[in-house]
Each structure stands twice: as C-alpha cells, then as structure tokens.
Structure 1
Amino acid sequence: MTLLSDIISASAHLHSSNHLPSDEYDCRIRELVEYWRRLQTTKALESFANDESFLDRFDPAIDSIPFLFVLRVQIQKVQELNADLFPADIRPSGKLWTRAAQFLASFDGVQVRYAGREWRLLVELVGQASQAASTPLLGATLVKNAMLRLDPSCAVFTSSHLLLVRLCLQAKAYSCALPVLNKQICHFPISLGRPSSEPSVLCADHGSSVSFMTEASGVSSKISYRDYLQYFLYGGMVYMALKEWRKALHFLGIVISMPSTSSVSLIMVEAYKKWVLVGLLEKGKLIYFREQLCPPPSITTPHVVKVYQSLARPYIILAHTFERGDLKKLNAEIDAAMGVWSADKNLGLVAQVVAVFFSQTVIKLGKTFAALTMADLSKQVFPSPVCAEVTGPAVSSLIMSRALNATLVQTKDHAESSMLRFSSIHSLPRLSHELDLQSQLKQEMKLMETLLINLGETNDNLGLSDEYVDSLHKGQIWSGSSEVNPTGGETGLEMDEDLMGDMS
C-alpha cells in the first residue's frame, strides 16, 4: 500500500468512528495523531511538502488532523527554502496563509484537542506573519475565531490570550478583542497528575474546558507571571480605548493587586498609574483600594501601596488637584509634569482627564445643590467668568447621555439665566430604573453561573470536592503530610517578575 492510500485509509477509518462510544473514538483519534506525528518525525511527508493540491484531498472541517499536519509540513518546507522567516506564501494573501485561514475558520474543535501543540504553532505563525506584514488585524481576527472555536468559554488562560490582545492593540481594532476579553478567566492549563476522578477521554463532554486545555495538550506555551500581568494590563488598555472605564478599572485592579513579596514589577507600576487616571474618568476622584472592584484590602499590603504612591507621585498630586475642583491648578499640574505623562505614554489619558473635569464637577455639584442657575454653575466650575452659552450645550449633552440626572429649565424671560435642577436616582421614572436593575441582575446571574461551573472543577483540582470530603470522614487522607498539592498538578504560572530592584 502506498503512503497516499495509507493516509486516506487512516482518515476514512476515523470518519467511520463517529458513531462509536467516546472511549473507543478517543483511542482511534489518539492512534491517528500518533501516526501523523511519526510521519512528521520520519520526514515521510516530505514528498507532499511541495504538492499544493495535496491539501485539496482533505476537508479541514472533518479531516482537521490530516489537514493540520500536512499544512505544518508545507509551511516548514517554505521556511527552510527562504531566508525570511515569513516568506510571501505565509504572509496575508499568500497561498499557505489562505490555507491556514481556511483551517482556523472551520476546524473540528474535538479533533484539535488531541493536536493542541500543532494548533498553537499555527495560531502563533498566523499572528506573527500578520505583524511582519503590518496587517495585525487580519491575524487578530483569525486568532480570535480559532480561540473561540476550540474553547468557546475561553476560561483557561493561554498564551493565545496575550497574542490576541497584542494584535488588537497594534491594529487599534479594540472591539475585535472583546469576545475573548469579556470572558471570565478561571483556570491556568494544569500539568499531569490529575485526580483519578477526572475523565481522561478528551472527546467527551466536559463541564469545563480545563479538562482538555491542559499543559500536556500543548494548546499554550509556557505561561509566566509577566504574561498574566501583561494580558490584564493590555486588556485594560483596550477597555480604555473604548472608554469602558469600569471594565478598565477592573482589569487594571487585577494587575496592581497581584501578590508580591518584597517589591512590585514595572508592569504593576504602569498599571497603577493608569488606574489612577481611569479612576478620575470613571469616579471623578482618587479611588482607594477599599473601593476597588477586584481585590479586598488584605491582598494588597500597605508596603506595596506605599511603593505605588511613591513611584506614581505626580499622578497622586494630579488626582488630588482634580478632586479640589480648581481647573487653573489642574492645568498647572499637568503642564509641570508634561515630561512624565509623555514618558509613560499617558498623555492621551491625561488629556481626557481635563476634558471630563467639567462633567465630573457638575455631577459633584448635584450632590450638594438641588438647583443652580447656569451663571452660578459657570462660577462654580471655572475660575474665570464663562458665558452660559458655553456651559449650556455641555450640560445638555450630559443630560442626554444620562451621565447627569438633572433637568434644564428654560425661563420665560430670556434675560435671566436658565435653571439646572438636579434629580436623585429615586426621582427617575420607576420603570426605567427597574429595567436597568433587571438588566444588571441578568448579567450578574450569567456571571455567577459561569463561576459556579468552573468552581466545581477548581474544587476537584484542589481536592475540595464532595467525594474528597467524604473520603476524609472515612480516614482516607493523603499519604504524605509534607505534600503541598495532593493532585500533583500545578497552575502553570511561573514566577518571573521584572522587579523594581532589577532596574539598577
């Protein structure tokens, strides 16, 4: 039997296995993957490396494994024959790029669970090739779709998460990252040594993707502490670009509240500086850790807080000046530290802080006054006289965008100034208020459902399942008292901080 007929026969054998029980299908697909890896190792596929039509024999939707392995061989062959790591055939619009895009848009997610390493290498190649061709948006779209196809929940943090958000920032295609950014990350790829209660059949239905998105599967490269911090910093920057300040605060808060023994990383300091500015944009004040969405006070030690405040002193001063409501002093502080904002690449955020000064000040006045004339409002906000014609449109815009709960009353005598009457949340139409609450409750319920599903898997990983608790009552405890992780698994999170002490 020739190699070609043997390959076709092996693929057909898998097609006829779809109706088999999961454990039998699992055995056949593992055998097929091992067969293809042997062919790749022995270079038996070299004869097809230059045959462009060979891939036409396979449908990536049902022959995902053969298609993926042959495509990888052809890509490697092209790279070997060219000095450029990303030759024209691999770049966007190239022949092999088109094949890769076809595969990533239609592959069978169950089959690829068994060839995670090969899948990841193709995803990384697509991302890197798009960067080399200065078309990161094309790569970002393919990477995003591939991630959601393999794991719709995106609950397991992988190196592809970081790749995607980098591509989206480079392409300034911020909305492209949202289908993944908006997902809740609950796990890291675990290593070998799982509990015996976990099903080992990858093709079976799993309650959580952590069961098949493992370290051994190769779907992620080695993850470091820095990767995790960078993902949430970049994610926060995506939300900042979209002016979703609340979500940006949440992501930045995760970075600055990461446990630290003696010092903090440069990434954490950068996140803190942005966190201060975003707090002004969202809340109109300097947000302290007790008010933050993510970490409780016990996570961030007083020492770390002092380090942040020392290294971000110009930002703290700016925030306090903003809170005092003096626009003249605010502009003076901004001008005095212009070199700092520029070096930190935060000029855009600082400019938005000035732009939002008016709206945040007006909102604060609503907590003190029941009503103000436009003339009085201008005096309260600006140090120098400003015509009502200037503040009137700005106030109207705030009311229409629902940023300000107030009513602008036009007097009959146009010689007199218009009146701004502030409203409390309780004075809003009851139906509108209840609809907003109902929408928020639905979102929170979906979030809780996601967390509960993944909490059960985490309990199993940590030995906290009901079965384990029952075993404790029966005296079935771990054999070694010094064993930290009874499951033998690891988080896959490698401590590799770029500490402030390394700056010297």
Structure 2
Amino acid sequence: MDKVEGAVAKIQGLSATRDDWASLSQQLETTATPEWEPAALDAVLSQLEPARHAVGCSYFLSARAKLLSGGDGQDEAFMRHARRLLIEGDAEQLKFARPKVQEICDVFTLMCRRSGNAMYGIRALREGVRKVAPSADHLTPLHHQLLLLSLLSKCFNPALEVLEGRVVRVSKEGMQARDVLLYIYYGGMVFAAVKRFDRAFDTLQLAFTMPCHALHEIVVEIYKKYVLISLITHGEVVALPKYTTPLLQRMLKGCCSAYHDVATAFATHKVDDVKVSLAKHQAVFTSDGNWGLASQAAKSLYGRNIQRLTQTFVTLSLQDIAQEVSLEDGASAKRKLLEMMARGEISASVDQEKGMVSFEAARMGPGEALTRLTEQMRVCNELNERMRVVDETISSSSMYLDKVAIQERQSRWGEPADWVAHGASTDELMDVAEKPPGFSASHGAR
C-alpha cells in the first residue's frame, strides 16, 4: 500500500500546471508500468479524480491497458475507469497525454466490441474526440473508433455530428495511414446506413487521393463499396480522380471483378441483366458483407430508368412505366413514383382515375433558391479561406522552397532530371501496406 499511496501523493502534488505535468510524465514513464498488479493499478485509479489528475490517470490506465491488450477477455473495472477518464477528464491534460489516451481508447473500443455493448463507449469516445483533438479541425484515431461503435450499435447521430464537422488537419503525431483510411471507411458506411449516398460517395472517394506505395486491404474494401454506391448515386462507376496514384489505378481494377461485372450489367439499364449478375456473384457479395448494398444498387436502377423516361416522355400511363422499367404492374410503378417525388428526385403529377402520369420540369421557389445559393456561397467562402491558409503554409515551408529552388536550377542549367525532387520521398509517403488488426468481418469492420 505504501507504493500505491506514494504514487497517488506524487500525482496529486504534480497536477496543477503544465510544468508539473511534464515533470510528472517523466517520472511516470518509468514507474507506471505493466509490472504493477492489476489490483494495485485499480487502487491508484480509484483514489484519483480525472477532472484534476487526468495526466496521472492516463499513465496508470495505459499500464492497465497493456496488461489487457494481448488477452481475449473483458475487464469491467478497466472499462469503467476508461469511460470515467474520457467523460470527466480535464481536456488540456488529456491533450498533453494524448499518446497514452490513444492507447487506452484502443483497448476500450476493443472491450466494448467484445462485450457486445458498443453503446457503452459512444458517449466516452464522443467526449474523447472533443477533448483530445488539438483543434476541431484535427483528425485523431478516436474518430474512427467512435464511428465503429456507432455502426455496431446502430446509433448514428453521434457519428454524424463528427462527420458533419470539417476535418482538414491530420497530425503526424500518433496518426497512421490506417487511422485515416478507417475514418473514411466507417464514415462512408455511416452515411450509407442513413441513406445519404451522395455524402457516402464523396467520403469514400477521399481514400483514393492519399499518397501510397502499396495496396492496403482497407482501400480494397473501400473501393468495393465505392463501386456500389457510385451505381446508386450516378448510375455508373465514376472514374477515380486523376490524381489517384497509378499504383491504385492499376491494382484496384484487377481485384474486384465481381463488382465490375455488376457495373457492366448496370450499364445496359436492364434490371434482368443486373439480377443475373448479382445472382452469379451473390457468394462474393455476401462474403464481403456487401449483399445489402448490392441489392440497393439493383433497386436504384428502377428509379434511374424512370428518370430516363422523363427525358423522353411528357405523359405516360402507369402500366407503360411499369413495362418500360420492368416493374410488376401499374400499382408498383405508382408506389415508386410517389417515393421518388417525396425525395425530390422527379417532379410529376399522377391522375388517379386515368392512371396517367405527367412529368414536369423541376421547380424551385425563389426563397428556396436564394437559401440554397446563400449556403453554397458560405461554404465556398469558408473553403477559400482554408485554401488560402494552406497555400500560405506550404509556400513558407522549407521543403517546398527547397524543391522549387532545385526545379528552377534544373530548368535554368539543364541539370539531369533525376536531380529533381518529384513529390515526397519514400519515407514521407504513407505506408499503407499493413492490414489493421481486427479488420475482419467477425470484429465488426464490415
């Protein structure tokens, strides 16, 4: 007990100022280790207050986490301490001890998944995201952990709050490429789960803009969902951005043949062809956890074919519409039309007595148009300001200035091309060759 009381006294005496935190962290690096018995670590944590002693709590709870990371069980005491730290902990101290907090959250998220109670961790991780991130613009590993638990618990509002924020900064400290990719992957899944397919498409597309020199399995999984969501939103597989690395351009096309087969069938605009292709590859889609999304892509073809009819016909009977788009009967066509009208996808009127549909040009009231224009201008101005800041940061960086000087010298004096720095070095590129632990479907990643 003397050891426990000594550790508690040390933490309580060095928790007032940032200088105290620095001194405390140096001492705890060698004293707060997994060599402690779990009961002793719990005894220390039980006597500390996260609102005042978050740095000390983080070090001892991190040691507790290391005792659990290699096992396959659950620990209610650890989960309780971790949740309390994230919810009650002082934000500045948690930022100071961010590497330790991230270690804690890795194990905490794993425990929530193992317990089958993902909801237990959502509030804690939401507070953790707010407190640990250097700013509201920064991405942290806690972001994708929150998104994962939201998906597992089907509690999407906390995830949507995070995704609606404009995350534009990625700190090198404590971040890996897999953290960014998982944020993109789970973010796209959240938007797809709430039927916001346009946002899901935009989110997933970000994965193909990252620099890389190896194909990551998460990128492959993202691409599979990207193909299906692209069919839903655009009616075709949208080409990857032109700034996608040639490596990804080459390798992604050859590793998802079943998905491209469905896309080829989709291009015929024939529902029966798509159904045949889906049936042919059902085992693949089911194994990938994408059968539900593939089925939604097939159903979206009905609506897309109806939209094509609006470009050709002004008036058409419900029965003719059903025949043109391969629906069962006029009643099915009517239900589909009403659904599309409610979502604002088409503008039409239905004559119930005659069973006729009149397609109309989309109309927007002046107030709605002004509101939409104002919002778009606000977003553009905000983006312009962010780009200005980024441009100034890059223009003043020593790496950029050195590169420009080398290129100017090469252009002026005709130096060999291999003297010129073309982009980031191999060491600077994000290494995305590693598959993250626990990414299999059995762990809820799909």
With normalisation by structure 2, the TM-score equals 0.77
3-state SS of paired residue (1:148): helix
Structure 1 unaligned blocks of 5 or more:
18-25, 191-214, 290-294, 470-481, 499-504
- CA-CA distance at 1:432 after TM superposition: 1.7
1:59 aligns with 2:49: yes
The alignment status of 1:133 with 2:115, answered yes or no, reads yes
Q: Which residue of 2 aligns with 1:368?
A: 312
Partner of 2:263: 319
Q: Are the counterparts in 1 of residues 187 and 203 from structure 2 also a CA contact under 8 Å?
A: yes
Q: 1:462 to 1:366 in 2, by over 3 A?
A: farther
Residue 278 (structure 1) shift: 0.6
Structure 1 distance, partners of 2:65, 2:288, is 40
**Greater share of residues in helix:** 2
Q: Any idea what the Cα deviations from partners look like across 1:149-193, whole Å, max 9, x if unmatched?
A: 122745444443443344334444444433333444444433xxx
Match among 414, 419, 438 for residue 357 of structure 2: 419
Counterpart of 2:226? 275
Separation (CA, whole Å) in 2 of partners of 1:276 and 1:109: 40
1:299 match: secondary structure: coil
**What does the per-residue CA deviation read over 1:445-483, in whole Å, with 9 as the maximum and x for residues that have no partner?**
445555555665555555559xx99xxxxxxxxxxxx99
| 1:238 corresponding residue in structure 2 | 190
Kept after mapping to 2: 8 A contact 1:256/1:269 = no
Structure 2 match to 1:398: 340
Aligned to 1:439: 375
Q: Which has the higher contact order (CA 8 A, sep 6+)?
A: 1
Q: 2:91 is matched with which residue: 98, 103, 109?
A: 109
Query: How much does 1:238 deviate?
Result: 2.5
Q: What residue is the counterpart of 2:348 in the other structure?
A: 407
Distance 1:287 1:66, change over 3 A: closer
State the 1:280 CA deviation.
1.5
Q: In the alignment, residue 496 of structure 1 is paired with which amino acid? A: A
| CA distance in structure 2 between the partners assigned to 1:395 and 1:14 by the alignment | 64
Aligned residues: 418
Q: Tell me if the contact between 1:188 and 1:493 (Cα under 8 Å) persists in the aligned partners.
A: no
Pick aligned residue for 1:189 from 152, 163, 171: 171
- Segments of 5+ residues of structure 2 without an aligned counterpart are 406-418, 436-446
8 Å CA contact 2:133, 2:140 repeated in 1:
no
Offset, 1:352: 0.6
1:269-296 Cα deviation digits (max 9, x unpaired): 333332221111112233233xxxxx3x
Quote the residue 2:131 is aligned against: 149
**Which amino acid in structure 2 is aligned with residue 396 of structure 1?**
L
Decide which structure has the larger Cα Rg and report it: 1
Aligned residue runs from structure 1 range 345-360, under 5 A: 345-360=289-304
Name the residue aligned to 2:412: none
Instruction: Judge conservation of contact 1:276–1:286 (CA < 8 Å) in 2.
Output: yes
Question: Is 1:299 aligned to residue 244 of structure 2?
Answer: yes
Counterpart of 1:33 in structure 2 is: 25
1:388 to 330, 344, 355: 330
CA separation of 1:10/1:274 partners in 2, compared to 1, >3 Å: closer, same or farther?
closer
Q: 1:182 to 1:64 in 2, by over 3 A?
A: same
Label 1:308 to 1:39 Cα distance change in 2 as closer, same or farther (>3 A): closer
Q: Is the 8 A contact 1:140 1:168 kept in 2?
A: yes
CA positional deviation for 1:124: 1.9
Give the conservation status (yes or no) of the 8 Å contact 2:41–2:61.
Answer: no
Matched residue SS, 1:493: coil
1:292 — aligned with what?
none
Task: Determine the C-alpha separation between the residues in 2 that align with 1:428 and 1:388.
Answer: 29
Q: Can you list the C-alpha shifts for 1:211-231, whole angstroms capped at 9, x where unaligned?
A: xxxx3xxxx26x2x4554344
- Compute the RMSD of aligned alpha carbons: 4.1
